[in-house]
C-alpha cells in the first residue's frame, strides 16, 4: 500500500503542520514562563506607568519656564525641594521654580518635563541655572504612555522573551496562561541497536539517535520520554507506539533502517486505530525515507536510521511540527546567516538538498566551507556549523555564491 504515496516536497510536508493543534493551556508562575508560548491575549489591568515619571536625573520643571534657555542665557529657577523616590510629592510647583528629581521619580503637580542634571548648575541650595530648554514631556514618561488599561499588550501565540516576562510582571501578572510543554516520545528500533551503557559486539552499535534527537527536543524547550529499544518486530513496535501515543503529544520512531523495518513501520502505523499516513518519502536529501502519520490528533514520525539524515529531518521538518504543538502562531523561523560558498556544490534538480558546512570569518565576510566526509559519519555533524539549503529548482550552487546558511 505504501506505493500509493507520492514523494512529498519539504514545503508540502511543512504545510501539514496545520493538521495538528496546539497543546492545551495551563497557568504557570511567571518565573516558569520564560520560553513558553502565551495561550491567551494579555490585557493591561491598569495604566503603565500609573503616574508621570522622570526618565533622567535632574530637575522637574514647567517646560515653558525653560524656553530660550542656553549656555549663554541660562534660565534661573528657585529650587522648591526634592521628590522622594516612591512618594507622591505633597506639593505643587510654584511659578519660577524647579524640583530635584531622580530617574523614576513622580513629577509633582505643575511640572511637565525634566531638565537633565548635566544641563544645570546649582548656584546654591536654593537656586539652579538651566542651560538647555526642554519641551513638554521631555525626559518624562507620562501616565499610561507605555500601556493604557484595557490594551492588549501581548497576543496569544507570543514566545515569552525576557522583555515579555518583565512587562507581564510590571502589570502584576504573577501567573501566565501558556500552552502546556509538549512531551515527545522516542522509540528506537533495530536489531543492531544496543543501550549506550553496553559494549557493542561487532555488528552492533549504541543508540546514538535517541540521544541526538532528544537534544533537538530539549533545545526547543519540550520534554522527552524515551521508550527504549525495540527489536525489528512489528508486534513490539505496535505495543511501543500505543504506549507512547497514550503518554505523549508526538512520537518519533528512530531507525528502522533496514528495508524490512521501514516497510512494517508503515504497516504498523496504518493499523493503529484512527491513523492515517500523511507522508511516505520526501524529496529531501538527506532525509528521503521519512514517514509521517496522524494518529488520533497526534503526529507520529518514522525517521531515517542514518544518524545525519535523522538530525537534518529533525531540525528542518519535525521541529516545526513541535513548534505548532507548542502553540507558536507562525512556524518559528530557522536562524540563517549569509555566507560566501568556498567551492561549487552539486545537487539534483527536484530535490531539496541540505549540505553541512563550516562557517569561518574571512576578509570578505563569513565563508561557508562544505564539510568533507561520507554522509553517514557523525563527525561531519560535529564539524558542521550550519547547513546549505539548495532548492528543488537548482542543480547546485557555485563557488562565491552568497547563500543563507541555516545554523546548527
Site for a copy of itself in 271-310 (CB under 8 A): 305-307
DSSP annotation string for 190-220 = -TTEE-TTSPPPTT-EE-HHHHHHHHHHHHT
Contact pick of 337, 340, 348, 394 for a copy of itself (by CB under 8 A): 337
Contacts of 331 (CB under 8 A, 6+ apart): 14, 17, 320, 323, 324
| Nearer residue to a copy of itself within complex by CB, 73 or 330 | 330
14 binds a copy of itself (CB under 8 A): no
What does DSSP say about strands 127-130 and 120-124: parallel, antiparallel, or unpaired?
antiparallel
Evaluate whether 77 touches 59 at the Cβ level (below 8 Å). yes
Within a 10 A sphere around the Cβ of 259, how many other Cβ atoms? 8
DSSP three-state, residue 367? strand
Evaluate whether 383 touches 370 at the Cβ level (below 8 Å). no
Is the peptide bond preceding residue 31 cis, with omega within 30 degrees of 0? no
Give least dist CB 160 to a copy of itself, A: 8
Contact pick of 314, 341, 371, 397 for a copy of itself (by CB under 8 A): 314
Site string for a copy of itself, 127-146 (x = CB under 8 A): --------------x---xx
Number of residues that bind a copy of itself (CB under 8 A): 97
Residue bearing cell 507558536? 328
How far is Cα 45 from Cα 174, in angstroms, rounded to an integer? 13
Query: Binders of a copy of itself among 87-106, rule CB under 8 A?
Result: 87-89, 102-106
Query: Binders of a copy of itself among 187-206, rule CB under 8 A?
Result: 190-193, 196-206
| Nearer residue to a copy of itself within complex by CB, 315 or 324 | 315
Sign of torsion over alpha carbons 261, 315, 13, 24:
positive
27 binds a copy of itself (CB under 8 A): no
403 binds a copy of itself (CB under 8 A): no
Contact pick of 116, 213, 241, 244 for a copy of itself (by CB under 8 A): 213
Give least dist CB 278 to a copy of itself, A: 24
How far is Cα 340 from Cα 338, in angstroms, rounded to an integer? 7
Q: 58: phi > 0 → left, psi -120 to 50 → alpha, else beta; which? A: left
| Nearer residue to a copy of itself within complex by CB, 7 or 30 | 30
Applying CB under 8 A, the span of 7-15, 66-74, 270-278, 379-387 interacting with a copy of itself comes to 379-387
Contact pick of 7, 28, 79, 212 for a copy of itself (by CB under 8 A): 212
Please, what is the angle between helix 234-247 and helix 259-271, to 10°? 50
246 binds a copy of itself (CB under 8 A): no
Contact pick of 49, 81, 281, 396 for a copy of itself (by CB under 8 A): 49
Evaluate whether 106 touches 89 at the Cβ level (below 8 Å). yes
57 binds a copy of itself (CB under 8 A): yes
Contact pick of 62, 66, 111, 214 for a copy of itself (by CB under 8 A): 214
Give least dist CB 281 to a copy of itself, A: 13
157 binds a copy of itself (CB under 8 A): no
| Nearer residue to a copy of itself within complex by CB, 16 or 178 | 178
Half-sphere exposure of 350 (CA within 13 A, CB side): 1
Query: Binders of a copy of itself among 70-89, rule CB under 8 A?
Result: 84-89
Amino acid at each position: 500500500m505504501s506505493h500509493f504515496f507520492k514523494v512529498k516536497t519539504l514545503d508540502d510536508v511543512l504545510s501539514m503542520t496545520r493538521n495538528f493543534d496546539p497543546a492545551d493551556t495551563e497557568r504557570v508562575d511567571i518565573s516558569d514562563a520564560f520560553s513558553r508560548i502565551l495561550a491567551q491575549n494579555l490585557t493591561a489591568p491598569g495604566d503603565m506607568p500609573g503616574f508621570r515619571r522622570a526618565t533622567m536625573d535632574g530637575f522637574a520643571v514647567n517646560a515653558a519656564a525653560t524656553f530660550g534657555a542656553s549656555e549663554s542665557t541660562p534660565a534661573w529657577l528657585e529650587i522648591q525641594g526634592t521628590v522622594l523616590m516612591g512618594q507622591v510629592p505633597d506639593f505643587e510647583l510654584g511659578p519660577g521654580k524647579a524640583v530635584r528629581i531622580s530617574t523614576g521619580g513622580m513629577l509633582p503637580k505643575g511640572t511637565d518635563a525634566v531638565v537633565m542634571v548635566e544641563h544645570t548648575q546649582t548656584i546654591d541650595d536654593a537656586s539652579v541655572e538651566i542651560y538647555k530648554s526642554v519641551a513638554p514631556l521631555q525626559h518624562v514618561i507620562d501616565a499610561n504612555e507605555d500601556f493604557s488599561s484595557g490594551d492588549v499588550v501581548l497576543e496569544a501565540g507570543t514566545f515569552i522573551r525576557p522583555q515579555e516576562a518583565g512587562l507581564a510582571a510590571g502589570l502584576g501578572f504573577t501567573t501566565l496562561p501558556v500552552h502546556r510543554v509538549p512531551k515527545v516520545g522516542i522509540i528506537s528500533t533495530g536489531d543492531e541497536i544496543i543501550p549506550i551503557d553496553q559494549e557493542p559486539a561487532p555488528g552492533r552499535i549504541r543508540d546514538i539517535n535517541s540521544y541526538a534527537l532528544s537534544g533537538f527536543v530539549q533545545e526547543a524547550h519540550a520534554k522527552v520520554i524515551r521508550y527504549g529499544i525495540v527489536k525489528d518486530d512489528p508486534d513490539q513496535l505496535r505495543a511501543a507506539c500505543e504506549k507512547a501515543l497514550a503518554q505523549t503529544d508526538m512520537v518519533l520512531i528512530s531507525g528502522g533502517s533496514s528495508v524490512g523495518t521501514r516497510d512494517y513501520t508503515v504497516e504498523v502505523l496504518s493499523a493503529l486505530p484512527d491513523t492515517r499516513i500523511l507522508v511516505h518519502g520526501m524529496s529531501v536529501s538527506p532525509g528521503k525515507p521519512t514517514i509521517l502519520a496522524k494518529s488520533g490528533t497526534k503526529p507520529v514520525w518514522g525517521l531515517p536510521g542514518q544518524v545525519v539524515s535523522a538530525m537534518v529531518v529533525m531540525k528542518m521538518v519535525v521541529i516545526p511540527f513541535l513548534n505548532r504543538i507548542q502553540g507558536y502562531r507562525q512556524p518559528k523561523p530557522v536562524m540563517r546567516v549569509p555566507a560566501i560558498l568556498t567551492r561549487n556544490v552539486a545537487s539534483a534538480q527536484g530535490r531539496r538538498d541540505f549540505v553541512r558546512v563550516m562557517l569561518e570569518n574571512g576578509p570578505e565576510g563569513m565563508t561557508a566551507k562544505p564539510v568533507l566526509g561520507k554522509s553517514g559519519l557523525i563527525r561531519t555533524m560535529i564539524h558542521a556549523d550550519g547547513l546549505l539549503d539548495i532548492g528543488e529548482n537548482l542543480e547546485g550552487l557555485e563557488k562565491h555564491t552568497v547563500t543563507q546558511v541555516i545554523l546548527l
